[in-house]
Amino acid sequence: MTVEPDAQTTATGVISLRGATLGYGDRILWSGLDLDVTPGEFVVVLGPNGSGKTSLLRVLLGLQPLTAGTVRIVDAPPGRGNRRIGYIPQQRAMEESLVMRGRDLVGLGLDGHRWGVGLRGMRARRARVDAALAEVAAGGFADAPVGRLSGGEQQRLRVAQALVSDPEVLLCDEPLLSLDLANQQVVSSLIDRRRRTAGTAVLFVTHEINPVLPLVDRVLYLVDGRFRIGAPDEVMTTETLSELYRARVDVVRVGGQIHVVGAQPGLCEQPHHLHDEEPS
Amino acid sequence: MDQLFDFDSTIALLSFPAVRTALVAGAILGLLAGVLGPLIVSRNMAFAVHGTSELSLTGGAAALLLGINVGHGALAGAVVAALVLGLLSRRSSEHDSVIGAVLAFGLGVGVLLLWFYPGRASNKFGLLVGQIVSVEFASLALLGGCAIGVLAVLAVIYRPLLFASVDPEVARARGVPTGTLSLVFAVLVGVATALGVQTVGALLVLSLMITPAAAAVRITANPLRATVLAVVFAEVSAVGGILLSLAPGAPVSAFVTAISFLIFLVCWTISLVRGRSRGVATAAVAVPAVPR
């Protein structure tokens, strides 16, 4: 076997998409997407509802095949068995009756995918879980039922759950949704610390860039099949977004924050009120 | 009433092999129910267990008509029911309505099958309320074999199954085959339910499969501790129920359900009291202590 020309892969990208296209039936979510995320990079994925932000994460997790193009994540095609990816889902209220403590939630992030009962290596497991809990300062409530904890506490446990397996890539799906401002800062600074100390690449899907704006290296903005990739200053401009939305959109910067104002209603298929919560 | 707790006659009855067989059967069933219970409760499958247990009656009725072992028929019926329910209701929001529809139809078929049966079905059909004292050695061997099989499969899939039960979204993201696991688990529950149907009866199988686990999860959120407690509660209910029923010769089911419900009430009370004391503790912190 000869080694194929290396145009399709780069040595540095822990996430690498080439000509990636995803569609359902006639509807194309995005096409021709090229993206390389390097270790330690913080990339935010923005876009209106239904633009395929969460679908991109599903592709990277191997839950959704691409319609065309190639995708590699941590030197392998996505799919089952890639244990070098951490995943933080949206914060959803957990049932109060859930038979699980914070400690169990984190432990499942470490070895919940393995077969067997898991009685071997209990001590080493406990040490790693304790360390992950300490990282997010969750030791104080680790033994309480998760359903009784606040949203912020639950989401800190989610961060510990994603990081306990020492991932090289962290995929986050609106992890700050429905958190108050203080908890948004706690959770995003935990994620930021991780990528600075361990070089974990972060792909962060959100509808609201401002809570993480100081951390962002690059933005991937998806609108109705079109997209733009670049630094926040390049992408989050009136010109670029108006081009993407194919309608007049004003980008206003107020006190270090970015606000996107649609000049006309009904710019795209769905209203792009960026502050709306995206249904799952 | 004297008859109800006659210690001497209980001891005397224990010397009968049939009684000992019944006790062993009860113990096996308690173990199985206790191990599966917390997962059933976590997955909100109580109604599925009820549906499966009633549909095993249909299997039993079919077996009666075909002239094969009623127990084998009940087992097959429960497994088929578990698979059908698992395949039809992939989304949990549809669970209850699908079970209701399948359950009603299945019981209708069962009624029809019994009507076709020329003899008096009730003589051979102890499935509704169970007849544990009539468990024969052959059934005991089947019970034991099935129990070992169920526990062995469960030992292999336990961790990913727990992950998929308590945290399905992240489990899927981590590559856990949640759909396949829920089908496999449905079959395990089906087998255990069918075995329960033959000992305590279809109407009362919930008292062993659900009540002990529901009681256990009231007082702990630790999955391992919940499982151990559920096994203890189920054993006390099953074995205790059989022992208490001996002297008065009363139906086993009545005692098994009474004991398991009593345990549930105690655990429920404990959780209420704890909740209240937690509230008091919080209030005490909030209110500064006044020096006397």
Residue B107: both structure tokens together: 């019981």
Tell me which residue in B157, B171, B217 faces A115 most closely, judged by beta carbons.
B157
From A63, which residue of chain B is nearest by alpha-carbon distance?
B173
Q: Is B38 on the interface with A (CB under 8 A)?
A: yes
How is chain B split into domains, by residue range? Answer: 2-281
Q: In terms of domains, do A146 and A107 share one?
A: yes
From A166, A191, A213, give the residue that closes a domain.
A166
Amino acid sitting at position A232: P
Q: Which residue has the tokens 């600075």?
A: A196
Nearest CA of chain A to the CA of B74: how many Å? 30
Residue B291 clears pLDDT 50, i.e. is over it: no
**Rounded distance between C-alpha atoms, residue B126 and residue B135, angstroms:** 11
Q: What is the mean pLDDT of residues A207-234?
A: 93
Asked whether residue A272 is assigned to any structural domain, the reply reads: no
Q: What single letter denotes the amino acid at residue A47? A: G
Residue A11: the pLDDT is 52
Best CA proximity match to A35, nearest among A222, A268, A277, A241: A222
Average pLDDT over residues B227-243: 95
Query: Residue A26 phi/psi, 5° resolution?
Result: -80, -20
Q: Is the pLDDT of residue B119 over 80?
A: no
pLDDT in tens, B134-157: 666 667 888 899 999 999 999 999
Interchain proximity B38–A105, CB inside 8 Å: no
Give dist(CA A206, CA A208) in Å, integer.
5
Same domain, A80 and A187: yes
Structure confidence at residue B289 as a pLDDT band (50, 70, 90): very low
Please name which of B11, B31, B28 lies closest in space to residue B19, comparing C-alpha atoms: B11
Q: Do A199 and A65 sit in the same domain of this protein? A: yes
CA-nearest of A200, A164, A181, A144 to A15 is: A200
pTM of this prediction exceeds 0.80: yes
Residues B90, B186: contact at Cβ < 8 Å? no
Minimal CA–CA distance to A240: which of A211, A255, A256, A220?
A220
Residues of A in contact with B156 (CB under 8 A): 115-116
Last residue of a domain, one of A111, A140, A166: A166
Q: What is the pLDDT of residue A273?
A: 42
pLDDT at A80: 65
Quick one: pLDDT band at residue A9, thresholds 50, 70, 90?
A: very low
Residues of B whose CB is below 8 A from A114: 159-160
Q: Please list every residue in chain B whose beta carbon sits closer than 8 Å to the beta carbon of residue A99.
A: 38, 41-42, 166, 217, 220-223, 226
Q: Which amino acid is at B274?
A: R
Provide the number of structural domains found in chain A.
2
Backbone dihedral angles phi then psi of residue A35, each to the nearest 5 degrees: -150, 130
Per-range mean pLDDT, top range of A201-205, B8-12, B60-64, B112-116: A201-205
Which tokens is A40 given?
């330690």
Question: Are B159 and A115 a contacting pair at CB < 8 A?
Answer: yes
Q: Looking at the predicted complex, does its ipTM rise above 0.90?
A: no
* Tally of CB atoms within 10 A around B101: 13
pLDDT of residue A24: 87
* Binary contact (B167, A97; C-beta < 8 A): no
Q: Which long-range contacts (CB under 8 A, 24 or more apart) does B217-220 make?
A: B217/A97, B217/A99, B217/B38, B217/B41, B217/B42, B218/B264, B218/B267, B218/B268, B218/B270, B218/B271, B219/B267, B219/B270, B219/B271, B219/B274, B220/A99
Q: Is CATH 3.40.50.720 correct for B2-281?
A: no
> What band does B250 get if pLDDT is binned at 50, 70 and 90?
confident
User: What is the per-residue pLDDT for A187?
Assistant: 92
Residues of A with CB under 8 A from a CB of B: 61-63, 79-83, 85, 87, 89, 97-101, 104-105, 108-109, 111-118, 144-147, 158, 161, 171
> B144: which residues sit within 8 A by CB, 6+ positions away?
B28
The mean of the pLDDT values for chain A is: 86
In this structure, the number of other CB atoms found within 10 A of the CB of residue A140 comes to 10
Residue type at position B149 = G
Q: Which of A160, A170, A102 is nearest to A135 (CA)?
A: A160
Domain that holds residue A66: 1-84+168-231
Interface A–B counts its CB contacts (< 8 A) at: 91
A52 backbone φψ class: left, alpha, beta (φ>0; ψ -120 to 50):
left
Q: Sign (positive/negative) of CA torsion A53, A57, A60, A64?
A: negative
pLDDT at B251: 80
Indicate whether A5 belongs to any domain: yes
Confidence of residue B247 (pLDDT cuts 50, 70, 90): confident
Show which of A149, A166, A183 is a domain's final residue: A166
* Interchain CB distance below 8 Å, A112 and B160: yes
- A69 and A27 in one domain? yes
Confidence class for position A146, pLDDT limits 50, 70, 90:
very high
Claim to verify: residue A71 and residue A135 sit in the same structural domain: no
What is the SS3 assignment for chain A? CCCCCHHHCCCCCCEEEEEEEEEECCEEEEEEEEEEECCCCEEEEECCCCCCHHHHHHHHCCCCCCCEEEEEECCECCCCCCCCEEEECCCCCCCCCCCCEHHHHHHHHHHCCCCCCCCCCHHHHHHHHHHHHHHCCCHHHCCCEHHHCCHHHHHHHHHHHHHCCCCCEEEEECCCCCCCHHHHHHHHHHHHHHHHHHCCEEEEECCCCHHHHHHCCEEEEEECEEEEEECHHHHCCHHHHHHHHCCCEEEEEECCEEEEEECCCCCCCCCCCCCCCCCC
What's the pLDDT band for B44 if we cut at 50, 70, 90? confident
pLDDT average, residue stretch A198-215: 94
A69 with A196, same domain? yes
Q: Is the same domain home to A159 and A41?
A: no
Looking at the partner chain, which of A82, A111, A158 has a beta carbon nearest the beta carbon of B159?
A: A111
Least confident interval from A260-269, B217-226, B247-256: A260-269
Question: Cβ–Cβ of B167/A105 closer than 8 Å?
Answer: yes
Determine whether the interchain pair B174/A79 forms a contact, defined as Cβ–Cβ distance below 8 Å: no
CA distance A235 to A254: 17
| Domain-embedded: residue A102 | yes
Q: Which residue in this structure is represented by tokens 């009962």?
A: A117
pLDDT in tens, B164-220: 999 999 999 999 999 999 999 999 999 998 888 877 777 678 889 999 999 999 999
Contacts of B275 in chain A (CB under 8 A): none
Q: What angle do CA A261, A265, A268 make, to 5 degrees?
A: 90
Classify strands A15-24 and A68-73 as parallel, antiparallel or unpaired: antiparallel
Question: Residue B236: its pLDDT value, please?
Answer: 97
Of A280, A227, A234, A277, nearest to A258 (Cα)? A234
Kindly report, residue by residue over A247-269, the tens digit of the pLDDT: 888 999 988 899 888 744 444 44
Q: Does residue A240 lie in a domain region? A: no
Structural domain includes residue A197: yes
Are A96 and A147 in contact by the 8 Å Cβ rule? The answer is: yes
User: How many angstroms separate the Cα of B40 from the Cα of each of A194, B48, B165?
Assistant: 37, 9, 9
